[in-house]
Chain A
Amino acid sequence: MRERARDQGGPGTLTDDLAIPEVDPSAPAGEPLAELAARYRLRPSAARPGVFAYARQLWERRHFIVGFATARNVAMYTEARLGQLWQVLTPLLNAAVYYLIFGIILGTNRGVPNFLGFLITGIFIFNFTQRAFITTSRVMPDSLPLIRALPFPRACLPVGYVLIELEQLAMAMVVLTAIVLASGEPLTWYWLLAIPALAVQGVFNVGMGLFLARLGAGADDFSQLLPFLVRTWMYASGVMFSIQTIGSLRNHPALTYLLQINPAAVYIGLVRNAILQSQRLAWPGSKPYDAANCALYHAGKKAYLEYSAYCHGTVPMSGLWLWGIGWAVVALLVGFVFFWEAETRYGRG
């Protein structure tokens, strides 16, 4: 009985009296195992496929990615009494809170036409990137049981998480459309431009999501820090003010340019110009240059703010599209290769 009890100590309580053979006597002898493996064309189980083969494997699992994203989306609100209604309530409450703070209490509108539509578009579009960044930075540690249970290209997970956010965004866009139309904007053909703009932003988010997923797979410190970096980024991206028309930036063209070409500002600008006619018409450079009218804008009087359309734009609309596509392509290529490099190490935790 005493010996029986010894065995029930649980993991790690191994007794020392068993002599483990230093060299396994039954180990296969003769031909080196690596050569035997080569002769029968066996491949290392932890081998990483080539980058193109990996992309193909990822494509083959596209049904899994879509199913995973949809399922997670459904599961997100199963514990809530209001259920899927939260998909609409969350963006609505978000919009209400930001409008209360920045529209009414702080009054940061500074003459931006249709500030409500301007602000809420900015918040929803930035929120897509923000949520994609924060969730993908935690996806690898959060999915460790799944990673250790099933073999599949690990990039499915961050891509799936971005897809979840895209599905959430689709619901937010319905709310946004209602708010923007209610705020008095007309429904025009320009609205269709929002679709390619969001698609390009989605590609950017996938690329960055892959990048951040690898960074977040190691130590936890990164995913703790990321929310602060993202919030700082939000305040620099013209979500609640207009970069091109903010007064204190008028004398710093280089700084204005840098702020305007940052990816978040680019994607927000593209969607705003698509669905907000008031923004499209006031975008600097959207009207032929007119020195007199532009001078009126530079006089800084609130009433002349819309005359910024007669000045030279920091980044014209076509430039905005080029920057948007450029950021997306670079993010996707860098993020994909960076994630693929560590493919075999994600299971280690």
Chain B
Amino acid sequence: MGSGPVVDGAAPTVIVDDLHVVYRVYGAGGDKGTAATALMRVLKRQRRPSVREVHAIRGISFVVSHGDAVGIIGRNGSGKSTLLQAIAGLLPPEQGCVYTSGQAALLGVNAALLDDLTGERNVVLGCLAMGMTPQETKERYQSIVDFSGVGNFIDYPMRTYSTGMAQRLRFSIASAKNHEILMIDEALATGDANFRAKSHERIVQLRAEAGTVFLVAHNLAEIEASCNRVIWLEKGKIMMQGEDVPAIVDAYLEATGGEPRKRDKPTQNEHNASA
């Protein structure tokens, strides 16, 4: 840490400037939920208590450059997914700004398209939604299906898929396009060992094609293997960030009460200068 982003090296692709994100949650607890209590609230001109504002990101700044793979770690509820959604432009900032060099693609756990439809339809619609032409979609279709390895299930509705199969298909769809910025939010967590190896290769390939990759994972080995930078979030703020990935991971583990990671050999990541 402390090494800071290299401003004058590679060109920055993502700049996050004092970002705050607030989102509203409806139907949080609060009143008894009867018509009478609702009427009293209207008469007393009270705000609906079941609308809660969650200040999920509270002032974050960082710069990410071409070819960076940034791991984001932190406990459940620390704002990792919200940060990615804000970078993708899906959640508007309350204050501050996120600047990007192009459209960021976010691959999340719940990036479901249409569960009632077959995998085939989902592949086609996903490609069209990402802005491909019908011709490109037709060309890429077979390679997407092959990569996902769902086999004959491609003709079944997606709601019949196992969690791992659905995630494999979603990852295959989203990574079919060369994104300048690809963000992966725990989307590889339930894949099997074979698929993890394939998707790791795909991430390395995307990085090599001048892309920027963000990776949220609770599997810290995956972060250490794939990322050259890491950001540790805590309660919507940055606890630590930098390029010394193992040191930050160890500090995170110590603070959250986890066992320290055992490393027999230096990390495999060639981008990791401090290994």
Contact = CB atoms under 8 A, between A and B. Distances in A.
Contacts of A347: 85, 90-92
Contacts of B113: 146, 149
Contacts of A74: 117, 121
Interface string A35-68: 0110011111111000000000000110110011
Interface stretch (A19-27, A103-111, A319-327, A331-339): A19-27
- B90, B237, B238 — which one has the most chain A CB atoms within 10 A of its CB? B90
B129 interface: yes
B257 A4 contact: yes
B83 to A, nearest CB: 12
B123 to A, nearest CB: 11
Contacts of A220: 26
Interface SS, B side: mixed
Interface in B4-54: 4-5, 7, 11-18, 23-24, 26
B239 A21 contact: yes
A33 B131 contact: no
Nearest to A146: B113
A14 B7 contact: no
Given A14-B75, A152-B131, A7 B92 contact: no
A28 interface: yes
Interface in A233-278: none
Interface in A145-171: 145-152, 156
Contacts of A28: 4-5, 7, 61-63
Interface residues of B, number: 74
B22 to A, nearest CB: 9
Interface in B110-142: 110-114, 116-117, 121, 124-126, 128-131, 133-134
B78 interface: yes
A340 to B, nearest CB: 15
Given A6-B257, A42-B15, A78 B157 contact: yes
A225 interface: no
Contact of B17 (A6, A12, A34, A64): A34
Contacts of B12: 36-37, 40, 42
A24 B92 contact: no
A348 B24 contact: yes
B162 interface: no
Interface size class of A (residues with CB under 8 A): 35 or more
B72 interface: no
Contact of A63 (B86, B97, B134): B134
Given A61-B128, A75-B114, A42 B61 contact: no
A29 B4 contact: yes
Contacts of A36: 7, 12, 15, 63
Contact of B106 (A6, A33, A42, A149): A149
Contacts of A29: 4
A231 interface: no
A43 B99 contact: yes
Contacts of B89: 45-47, 151, 344
A349 B26 contact: yes
Contacts of B268: none
A192 interface: no
Given A14-B78, A60-B131, A37 B234 contact: no
A29 B3 CA distance: 11
A21 B1 CA distance: 14
A347 to B, nearest CB: 4
A160 to B, nearest CB: 11
A26 B238 CA distance: 9
Given A42-B101, A46-B89, A68-B129, 7 more contacts: A14-B75, A18-B255, A44-B97, A45-B86, A148-B90, A149-B108, A347-B92
Interface of A: 3-4, 6-7, 10-14, 18, 20-21, 24-31, 33-34, 36-37, 40-47, 60-61, 63-64, 67-68, 71-72, 74-75, 78, 145-152, 156, 220, 344-345, 347-349
A-B CB proximity, top 9 nearest:
A3-B257, A11-B77, A37-B99, A42-B99, A149-B111, A75-B116, A45-B89, A64-B128, A33-B17
16 contacts: A7-B75, A7-B257, A12-B77, A18-B255, A20-B234, A25-B1, A26-B3, A28-B5, A43-B99, A44-B100, A67-B124, A71-B117, A148-B108, A148-B110, A151-B88, A348-B23
